[in-house]
A = this chain, B = another copy of it.
Amino acid sequence: MLELRLVQGSLLKKVLESIKDLVNDANFDCSATGFSLQAMDSSHVALVALLLRSEGFEHYRCDRNISMGMNLGNMSKMLKCAGNDDIITIKADDGSDTVTFMFESPTQDKIADFEMKLMDIDSEHLGIPEAEYHAIVRMPSTEFARICKDLSSIGDSVVISVTKEGVKFSTRGDIGTANIVCRQNTTVDKACSCHIHLPEEATVIEMNEPVTLTFALRYMNSFTKATPLSNTVTISLSSDLPVVVEYKIAEMGYVRFYLAPKIEEDGEEEDKPKPLTD
């Protein structure tokens, strides 16, 4: 028996919108600690990891670990039928081949039940090791989304370079080149170095060593569909690791996107980014 009641149902709607274009089918894993998902995109280049911790739900009952295969497009169609102020409850009976999404309007005058068939999906769960990153950039999520969108009108790849002064996003295309530099904001209160106290509109850089990496803009743009989930985005970069683009979900967890850098050989860029798995 599974019953997860989320008062702020719009969060689940936003989560689905952020990942449904990247991943077609995926297993949602439910355990006592939370509701999570890990899935590769269909071209096996990017990885999505979602966590909604059990503490973030008003009511959370999960009698045994369960993995539910869902078509994210169909799930999104159903969640779009929930009002933005609705309470959403996810329900599944033990052994059932369906999941039910229940939407309650704030006044309780309107109650909807949407029942969706579950799927059997083969998936391998990748272990993602904790890693040390050369540089971690925290910036307003709308700023990052705007930069990815703007650069896409000029080129296909973005070169991200981090130095102590700031982070530079560059691209090159048939019509010319573009460089956008976001400086580390200097208006930060010096008395407190705790990042949690920094204003959300600040760009903050934690850097061990400078790093320059190239990524496919198509994927970066896809990741920015998570922008409505959080005011800030955190980009973690190392020269030998996939980049992590993380959107925190307040009090509940996160959506993280992993993407391997493009590798330039003999000055020529590869056509495709390196897959995360072989």
Contacts and interface: CB of A to CB of B under 8 A. Distances in A.
A114 to B, nearest CB: 5
A272 interface: no
A177 interface: yes
A78 B180 contact: no
Interface in A54-96: 71, 74, 77-78, 80-81, 83
How many monomers of this chain does the complex have? 3
A177 B115 contact: yes
Contacts of A183: 108-111
A45 interface: no
Contacts of A77: 153-154, 175
26 contacts: A74-B176, A77-B153, A77-B175, A78-B175, A78-B178, A80-B153, A81-B154, A83-B146, A98-B176, A108-B183, A109-B182, A109-B183, A110-B143, A110-B181, A110-B182, A110-B183, A111-B181, A112-B178, A112-B179, A112-B180, A112-B181, A113-B179, A114-B154, A114-B176, A114-B177, A116-B175
A117 interface: yes
Contacts of A178: 78, 81, 112-115
Contacts of A185: 109
Given A175-B117, A176-B98, A154 B78 contact: yes
Residue among A83, A110, A111 facing the most chain B CB atoms (10 A cut-off) = A110
Interface in A105-132: 108-117
